[in-house]
C-alpha cells in the first residue's frame, strides 16, 4: 500500500515538474525593467540633498517609481505566507510518510539491508531526503523559479535551474545522511539527555557546512575567478588591509546567469578567507556603491558576526531539540498508534521530529530575523564609517528595494525582515552624512 501511495505522489510531482518546465517563463528583459524602476541621479542631485536625514531619505525614496514600489511590495509581502505554507506542506508530507507506513517501511528495508545501526540510519536518511525533495519540488519550482521570473528577478531557463537543484539535492543528501547518522547515534546512547548532546552535534554540522560552503559547495554552481585589476579592486583591497581582513585578492562569480540580484561576501576558513562579489554588482553599481557593499561584508568579518551567529543559533538549536524531546513522546502516544514508530531513537520517527522542529522554527521566526537583522545593522554602520560612502550605500539601498518592501511598519519589520528595510538603511546613511557635516 505505501509503495503504491509513494509511487503515485512521486509520479505526480515529476509530471508537474515536466509541465512547468515546458511552459516555464523566461524574462530576459528583467535587468532592463529593474534598472528603469529607479530614476537616475548625479553628484549635483546628491550635493543638493537636504541636510535633514528624514528629508534626504524621502528624496531618495521618491526616485522609486510607483509601479516598481508596488511590484516590490507585492513580491515581498507574498513571501510572508511562505513560512506558513512551508510549515503546512512539511507537516502534510511528514503525516503522509507516517500514516501510509512509508517511513516504517524505509526503516524496515534499511534493517534488512544491514545490521549496523549507523548504516541503517544513513540509508533511511538518503531515502528520506530524496523522497521529500521530490514531493515538495512543485512548491519549490513555484517559489524559487516561477515566481522569481514573474517578478523579473531571475534569468535562468528551467532545465539549467532544475539541474542545479539536483546538484543541491546531492549535496544536501550527503550532509543530511552524515548529520542524521551522528545525531541518532547520540539519541540511542543518551536516551534522556540526547536533546543536549544531539543539538551540539547538529550545531557542529552547521558550522561545518558554513565553513566548507564558500570553498567547496558554491563553486559547484558558479565560476569564480580573480577580479580584473582596476582602481575599484585596489580600493577594495586597501579597505581590507586597513581593517585587518586577511585577503590578497578579490574574486568575481557569474551570478548573472541565475539572477539579477547584487551580492557579495567575505568568508572562508583556515587560510581560505576571500572577498567574493557577483558580476551583477560589478555591472550595475558604481565604484562608490561597490565599495559600500564590500564595506558591509567586511563589517561582518571584522565584527565576528559569524561567531556570534553560531552562539545565537546554538542556543536556539538546543531549545529546539529540547522541545522535540518533550513533545515527541506525547504526540506519539496520542496519535501515533498506527505509525510503527518505536520511540524517539527510532529513525522511522524522523518525520515526526522534523515536523516538531519546523513548528518550533516557525514560532521563533521573529527571534531569528531580529538576531540576523541586528548584525546587518551593525555591518551597515561599519560600512559607512569605514568607506565614508554614505550616498553610495543609499544608492545600494534603492537597488535592494527591487525585492524588499521599501517602507514596512515597525512590527512588520521585526517579524518578517532579516535585514533592515531599504528605508531604514538609507536613513542610517543620511543620518551619518548629516552628523559628519557632509
pTM: 0.90
What are the pLDDT tens digits along the chain (438 aa)? 456 666 666 666 666 666 666 666 555 444 445 545 899 999 999 999 999 999 999 999 999 999 999 999 999 999 999 989 999 999 999 999 999 999 999 999 999 999 999 999 999 999 999 999 999 999 999 999 999 999 999 999 999 999 999 999 999 999 999 999 999 999 999 988 999 999 999 999 988 888 888 888 999 999 999 999 999 999 999 999 999 999 999 999 999 999 999 999 998 766 778 999 999 999 999 999 999 999 999 999 999 999 999 999 999 999 999 999 999 999 999 998 889 999 999 999 999 999 999 999 999 999 999 999 999 999 999 999 999 999 999 999 999 999 999 999 999 999 999 999 999 999 999 999 999 987
| Nearest CA-CA partner of 317 in 220, 201, 423, 426 | 201
| Nearest CA-CA partner of 59 in 398, 363, 386 | 398
SS3 of 101-147: CHHHHHHHHHHHHCCCHHHHHHHHHHHHHHHHHHHCHHHHHHHHHHH
CA distance linking residue 300 with residue 386, whole number of Å? 13
Place of cell 558554513: 210
Distances (CA, A) of 287 to 55, 104, 231, 235, 290: 25, 58, 9, 9, 5
CB-based contact 176:330 (threshold 8 Å): no
Over residues 371-418, the pLDDT tens digits come to: 999 999 999 999 999 999 999 999 999 999 999 999 999 999 999 999
- Residue 166 cell numbers, joined: 539536483
224-226 and 250-253 as β-strands: parallel, antiparallel, unpaired?
antiparallel
275 - beta bridge partners?
250, 266
- Residue 214 cell numbers, joined: 564558500
- The CA angle 166-111-13, to the nearest 5 degrees, is 30
| Nearest CA-CA partner of 385 in 421, 424, 438 | 438
Determine the pLDDT at residue 32: 41
Place of cell 566548507: 212
Tell me how far apart the terminal alpha carbons of the chain are, to the nearest angstrom.
Answer: 72
Q: What is the DSSP letter of 37?
A: T
CB-based contact 20:147 (threshold 8 Å): no
- Residue 115 cell numbers, joined: 545490521
CA distance linking residue 206 with residue 210, whole number of Å? 6
| Residue 313 CA from chain centroid, whole number | 14
> Within 13 Å and on the Cβ side, how many CA atoms surround 11?
6
Determine the pLDDT at residue 23: 61
- Residue 69 cell numbers, joined: 514600489
Determine the pLDDT at residue 4: 64
Amino acid at each position: 500500500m505505501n509503495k503504491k501511495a509513494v509511487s503515485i505522489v512521486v509520479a505526480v510531482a515529476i509530471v508537474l515538474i515536466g509541465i512547468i518546465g515546458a511552459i516555464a517563463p523566461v524574462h530576459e528583459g528583467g535587468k532592463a525593467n529593474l534598472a528603469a524602476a529607479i530614476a537616475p541621479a548625479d553628484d549635483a542631485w546628491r550635493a543638493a540633498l537636504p541636510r535633514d536625514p528624514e528629508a534626504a531619505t524621502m528624496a531618495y525614496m521618491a526616485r522609486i517609481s510607483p509601479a516598481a514600489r508596488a511590484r516590490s511590495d507585492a513580491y515581498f509581502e507574498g513571501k510572508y505566507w511562505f513560512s506558513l505554507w512551508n510549515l503546512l506542506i512539511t507537516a502534510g508530507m511528514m503525516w503522509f510518510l507516517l500514516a501510509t507506513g512509508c517511513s516504517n517501511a524505509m526503516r524496515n528495508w534499511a534493517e534488512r539491508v544491514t545490521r549496523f545501526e549507523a548504516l541503517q540510519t544513513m540509508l533511511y536518511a538518503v531515502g528520506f531526503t530524496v523522497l521529500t525533495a521530490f514531493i515538495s519540488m512543485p512548491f519549490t519550482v513555484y517559489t524559487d523559479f516561477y515566481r522569481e521570473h514573474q517578478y523579473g528577478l531571475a534569468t535562468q531557463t528551467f532545465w539549467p535551474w532544475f539541474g542545479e537543484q539536483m546538484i543541491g539535492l546531492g549535496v544536501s543528501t550527503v550532509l543530511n545522511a552524515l548529520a542524521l547518522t551522528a545525531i541518532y547515534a547520540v539519541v540511542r546512547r543518551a536516551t534522556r539527555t540526547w536533546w543536549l548532546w544531539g543539538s551540539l552535534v547538529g550545531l557542529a554540522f552547521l558550522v561545518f557546512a558554513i565553513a566548507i560552503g564558500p570553498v567547496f559547495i558554491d563553486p559547484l554552481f558558479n565560476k569564480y575567478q580573480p577580479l580584473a585589476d582596476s582602481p575599484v579592486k585596489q580600493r577594495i583591497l586597501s579597505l581590507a588591509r586597513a581593517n585587518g581582513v586577511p585577503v590578497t585578492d578579490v574574486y568575481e562569480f557569474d551570478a548573472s546567469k541565475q539572477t539579477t540580484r547584487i551580492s557579495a561576501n567575505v568568508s572562508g576558513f583556515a587560510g581560505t578567507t576571500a572577498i567574493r562579489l557577483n558580476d551583477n554588482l560589478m555591472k550595475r553599481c558604481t565604484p562608490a556603491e561597490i565599495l559600500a557593499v564590500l564595506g558591509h561584508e567586511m563589517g561582518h568579518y571584522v565584527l565576528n558576526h559569524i561567531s556570534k551567529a553560531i552562539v545565537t543559533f546554538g542556543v536556539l538549536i538546543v531549545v529546539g531539540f529540547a522541545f522535540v524531546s518533550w513533545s515527541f513522546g506525547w504526540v506519539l502516544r496520542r496519535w501515533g498508534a498506527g505509525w510503527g514508530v518505536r520511540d524517539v531513537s527510532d529513525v522511522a520517527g524522523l518525520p515526526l521530529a522534523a515536523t516538531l522542529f519546523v513548528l518550533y522554527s516557525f514560532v521563533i521566526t521573529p527571534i531569528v530575523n531580529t538576531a540576523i537583522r541586528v548584525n546587518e545593522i551593525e555591518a551597515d554602520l561599519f560600512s559607512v564609517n569605514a568607506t565614508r560612502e554614505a550616498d553610495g550605500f543609499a544608492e545600494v539601498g534603492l537597488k535592494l528595494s527591487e525585492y524588499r518592501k521599501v517602507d514596512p511598519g515597525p512590527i512588520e519589520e521585526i517579524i518578517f525582515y532579516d535585514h533592515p528595510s531599504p528605508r531604514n538603511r538609507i536613513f542610517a546613511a543620511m543620518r551619518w552624512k548629516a552628523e559628519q557635516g557632509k
